[in-house]
A and B are shown apart, each in its own frame.
Chain A
């Protein structure tokens, strides 16, 4: 996933101010948006949002709309009925899928944030033998595709007796190299060395420093990591498909079941996909500023 480098966007504000001050006549047009720019952006916005909008429209309609000309572009009043059918569909275990996904994504998120901030703090601020080599292995693990492992993981889960159980989709993802590296980059620049030294002089243990000094300072970045992790876990498909069974699914497996069983009944299937998608979208829209900031700041200087 994203490679995170030290965010040094500090220059953004001063630059904007400077731009407002000195603006020689011929430079005025340099950053101005042309109508064509707006046209491009509006087309992109419509294309981005339309499939989600369409999903919601269909989810609120009756099945009679299939083949309607022109297709409906406004919501109807059948959402309740469709949702009822989704939760009644036995093949999909939809309610169970939702609860399972919430449990899995929450556990993975909490542990990833906790362990990643711990390791990130150690790599950014503590001195120990073998640090650089160890950090390199963290980065290397980011390159290993998940799919490489699912066949042996499946067999391992058989040894432990965890096939079909939720721990099989939680434990392998308790922490990622991506999380560690991202938190290391943020710790390095968000936590001043003096703060840590001061805490040491006051007699804090290393763990106490982590808990009372570092973790609070990392809150914004940890929030971004939490949302990215939650999203990724919530959307994971291949490994749950391999290891879980249809009667104890995550919500993505429920959708697949729904889709195979009712593929002619679009409105029902779309009601299911809407339920599985909207919670994340709402969370995203609420925190969109922080998330976008986090992705852009943490972005790239590969």
Chain B
């Protein structure tokens, strides 16, 4: 690469003192081609950086700057308040409640999701009839519109007319008030999240499982290891990097949970009558766009970012630990 395409014959002639100037057109082209090799890489990557600087990096710093100010759009108020937004957040029970809700739903959703995905991937990794059908089925939820499916699930979890409570009624369980009870609302929302992401994670696990050498399993089988034992002692340890990856992706997604709980509350930002399922992202949206307190909303945005970083690091350490035992 970086091939030199200068028309060397022309040069040699010039050096040898052969009369007559080199054809100017060739040099011009040579120079052009050198410029091309040198600068086109930057031209090719420039659209990314242009978009990133304007709509990515600048807003990030702008959020930080705004979070140190008291800013209202309607009244035009805009003054520096130092860290007051952050200290206010620490004693804001609505904010702390939203953090609790987010972490709670994140835990309820993520742990079963990844376990189910592992089991599903293990099943898909067998020799199967209709394997494409099962894979397509696993991915269908990802393709559906989040808003549409949240609406459908909200109806399925309706206290009076929902299909879920009807099914429960068949086996003698009293109707559950999915919306108004904190725990049940967390579970309902977690089910929506898991419905969407379990199959996708299963396919990612499946891809990684197919890269595990088959000899390992054959050797284990010869040594008399059961399938279950093979799964826990070969498959899971070999998938460690993939598990870390899916955990971090789920963390980034889970801590920003927004669409499902908003639709579960009929499109409002409150997260239920007592904010029982209001997430941090909803609180940020509410502070900025409903209460016109943009500085405060920006501080919440930074807290989300910090939470994501903290939890990604925790995951990283945890999964490393888990692997250290082997």
Chain A residues near B (Cβ < 8 Å)? 1-3, 9, 11-12, 15, 19, 26-27, 30-34, 37-38, 40-41, 44-45, 47-49, 51-52, 54-55, 58, 66-67, 69-71, 115-116, 118-119, 121-123, 125-128, 131, 134, 137-138, 141, 143-156, 158, 171-175, 177, 180, 193, 196-197, 200-201, 203, 205-207, 210, 231, 234-235, 237-238, 241-242, 251-252, 255-257, 259-260, 263, 266, 269-270, 272-274, 276-277, 280-281, 284-285, 288-289, 291-292, 295-297, 299-302
- 5 closest residue pairs by CB, A with B: A273-B148, A206-B40, A149-B59, A152-B62, A172-B55
Q: Are B145 and A44 in contact (CB under 8 A)?
A: no
A158 to B78, CA, bound (A): 16
Known: A134-B45, A205-B36. A145 touches B252 (CB 8 A): yes
Known: A30-B218, A71-B163. A55 touches B59 (CB 8 A): no
Segment of B89-97, B107-115, B136-144 in the binding face: B136-144
Contacts of A263 in B (CB 8 A): 266
State which residues 112-151 of B face A: CB under 8 Å.
Answer: 119-120, 123-128, 132-149, 151
Known: A48-B141, A127-B41. A299 touches B203 (CB 8 A): yes
Interface of A is mostly: helix
State which residues 218-263 of B face A: CB under 8 Å.
Answer: 218, 221-222, 241-242, 244-246, 249, 252, 255-256, 258-259, 262-263
Contact of B40 among A71, A145, A207, A280 (CB under 8 A): A207
Contacts of A237 in B (CB 8 A): 146-147, 258-259, 262
State which residues 303-326 of B face A: CB under 8 Å.
Answer: 304-305, 308, 312
A296 to B301, CA, bound (A): 33
Does any Cβ of A come within 8 Å of B82's Cβ?
A: no
Contact of B241 among A30, A257, A276, A302 (CB under 8 A): A302
Contacts of A44 in B (CB 8 A): 120, 123, 134, 137-138, 199
Known: A122-B41, A193-B1, A280-B144. A300 touches B208 (CB 8 A): yes
